[in-house]
Amino acid sequence: MDLLNRIFTSIVYLSLMASAAVVIISAIKLVFKNKFSGAWHYYIWLIVVVRLMLPYSINSNMSLFNYINTGFESSFNTNISSIIEENNISKEAIPPNKSNSTKQNVVPNIINYKEDKLSTNTSFTGSSNLFQYISYRYHFAIIWLVGMTLLTLYLLSSFIVFRFNINSKETNIAKDLYPLLESCKEKVGIRRKVKILYSNEINSPCVFGILAPKILIPKTLLNELNSADLEYILLHELSHLKRKDLLLNWIMTTLQIIHWFNPIIWLAFSKARKDCELSCDSFVLGKISSSAYKEYGETLIKIAASYSKYKWTPGVTSIVSTREIKRRIIMITKFKKQSIAWSIIALSLTLLVGCGSLTNPKNNEATNNNSAVTDNTSQSADNNNSNNSNVSVPNTSDNNATNNSSSNTSNTSTNSNSTPSSQGQSTTSNKSTELLKNIYNLAKQGKVPDCEFASKDTLFGDVATKWGDPEKIDYVGGGKTSARYALYNKKGFHFGINKGDQVFDVRSFKSYLKDIKYNDVEKTLGKPAVINKTTTEHIIIYNVNKTYQLMLIFPKPTDANKNPSLDHISVYDPADAVNNMAG
């Protein structure tokens, strides 16, 4: 179910990106509808086709999605094959650690996970994670799969029935038209074998069959069409074969099935099929003399006059759509070879729309890093504000002046926030002492040093919007204890996220935390609420207030290393770790 939801999420966002391309293409076509050739009006839709078939794309400053605040800027760096490969992600909850304390039962909520079990290709933003939750909750993915299956069965059965009816009546081969067919094939430049059949199954000339193409002529039109009409019809249908329109038709049909829930995609491909006929008209007009343009238009009118209700059959191209006949006649009367200037404009617009639609928005990591540096530079002035988003923390590479400044700032904060017991500080390094105090005071706000995002008060979408996609996503637990962990290893932070997309756990793995030794903690912060001891770890837990717990995770002390360095910290919100939204 989880794999299906992730695939469906990718499909939805691909569909939304393609929809944006449809809107832009439609606007351009409306402005230049009489300026560009019929071929351009048709082939511009290939941008939408490629967008829907391209789950992975390069990032570019030219992407139009850089300028659209969609909330899913970087969610397409994952292709479908990568998502499928992720199915081997371990989703088993690691058993909770057992506490030796009789105090409140908070330790079972601690989730211990291993990074090396994760696939490196998971990539979702906060909005897509929220959509995954909605999809999971209301079974959208299952509805999509059922709809896609039913539509596939319907369209395939329609095509099979149509093909059976045609193939079972091949005695109606139009042998009298083969000389004319060979002449038309020579004009178009086709050498492959093509059959012509008279049929009662259709009311408009059409062509179908990719491997063994057949041109169908309605028997009802035989008394109304002359030899010139038949020549134009054959040229038109052969142009479909020449340009591989049947193959593209099947590709669009497949994409419509996959994106059946999006009416914009259906509308786009409906217009694309109509533009395909316009393009074929232009192709035929280029093969006949200008004096025959009028006759070609009259042929289309004859066919339209006997045309009844059209039923779309996948893999079949029909020469006439009654709703489009007026537009096609106008295009025929205005047909002329496109000038070089307009050709250049058409090509430029195509390249511009293509580059804007087929690339993903630029994820400017450098900008984020520069922003973080700026925030850290200005944070000293804001450190006394309880709502500050960044607090200066001593770094192993800091010079003495920086350390002293940080110490003074931390002391000021400590005095205003009821400093915990600091007995024995004389035996603790100054850097470790101040860092532990800073960590403790920030934990009261649900924060860890150097991270602006607080547990409980943050939705993961806010994190993903500013930081981009996490490098990994881990899924642990089930039911009301299910959660995701978003891993930003390069930044040194992990976020625990419940089904409501709320951050309930903020973890820091910053290298400067190793300055804190196991024996420093109790000397600086006093006696903890509980020390949870496992075979590999000791987790020291402080209840900093009614909302948050501070956990300091150390490797288990051994005879060889009785005073290990701190591995990472966690500011944890037990109430929101329980998924009240879970089903």
| DSSP assignment letter at 125 | -
Domain end position, chosen among 319, 334, 349: 334
* 166 and 297 together in one domain: yes
- Categorize the per-residue pLDDT at 327 as very low, low, confident or very high, splitting at 50, 70 and 90: confident
Position 122 pLDDT exceeds 50: no
The average confidence (pLDDT) of the chain is 74
Our count of domains for the chain comes to 2
Amino acid at 444: K
| Residue 539 in domain | yes
> Which residue blocks in 168-259 are alpha helix, DSSP H?
178-188, 227-242, 245-258
* 298 and 439 together in one domain: no
| DSSP assignment letter at 455 | T
pLDDT at 135 (0 to 100):
56
The pTM of this model reads 0.54
Position 114 pLDDT exceeds 60: no
CATH assignment of the domain containing 186: 3.30.2010.10
| Residue 313 in domain | yes
* 304 and 250 together in one domain: yes
| Residue 23 in domain | no
Amino acid at 391: V
Consecutive H or E run containing 15: helix 2-31
State CA 554 to chain mean position distance: 38
* 412 and 319 together in one domain: no
* Residue with token string 């973890």: 507
Task: Tell me if residue 226 falls in helix, strand or coil.
Answer: coil
Tell me how far apart the alpha carbons of residues 501 and 137 are, in angstroms, rounded to a whole number.
Answer: 13
Task: Please report how many Cα atoms fall inside a 13 Å half-sphere around the Cα of residue 294, on the Cβ side.
Answer: 1
* 191 and 319 together in one domain: yes
Tell me how far apart the alpha carbons of residues 466 and 370 are, in angstroms, rounded to a whole number.
Answer: 12
| Residue 547 in domain | yes
Closest CA to 425 of 522, 500, 515: 522
What's the domain range around 460?
380-577
Tokens at 62, concatenated:
């030219």
Buried b (16+ CB within 10 A) or exposed e, 262-276: bebbeebbebbbbbb
| Residue 375 in domain | no
* 427 and 295 together in one domain: no
* 553 and 465 together in one domain: yes
User: Is the distance from CB of 70 to CB of 453 less than 8 angstroms?
Assistant: no
Share of the chain above pLDDT 90, in %: 27
* 197 and 321 together in one domain: yes
Position 94 pLDDT exceeds 60: no
Crossing angle between the packed helical segments 263-285 and 245-258, to the nearest 10 degrees:
170
Share of the chain above pLDDT 70, in %: 67
* 513 and 387 together in one domain: yes
pLDDT at 550 (0 to 100):
96
| DSSP assignment letter at 560 | S
382 or 2, higher pLDDT: 2
183 or 479, higher pLDDT: 183
Tell me how far apart the alpha carbons of residues 578 and 583 are, in angstroms, rounded to a whole number.
Answer: 12
Burial class (CB in 10 A: 0-12, 13-18, 19+), 441: buried
- Cα dihedral angle (560, 564, 567, 573), rounded to 10 degrees? 120
| Residue 491 in domain | yes
Beta strands (DSSP E) in 441-529 are: 472-476, 483-488, 493-497, 503-508
* 329 and 460 together in one domain: no
| DSSP assignment letter at 290 | G
Task: Tell me if residue 199 falls in helix, strand or coil.
Answer: strand
Q: What share of the chain is helix, strand, coil (3-state, %, to 5)?
A: 50, 10, 35
pLDDT at 108 (0 to 100):
38
Lowest mean pLDDT among 228-232, 340-344, 517-521: 340-344
| Residue 443 in domain | yes
| Residue 76 in domain | no
Position 134 pLDDT exceeds 70: no
* 482 and 423 together in one domain: yes
* 420 and 299 together in one domain: no
pLDDT at 467 (0 to 100):
93
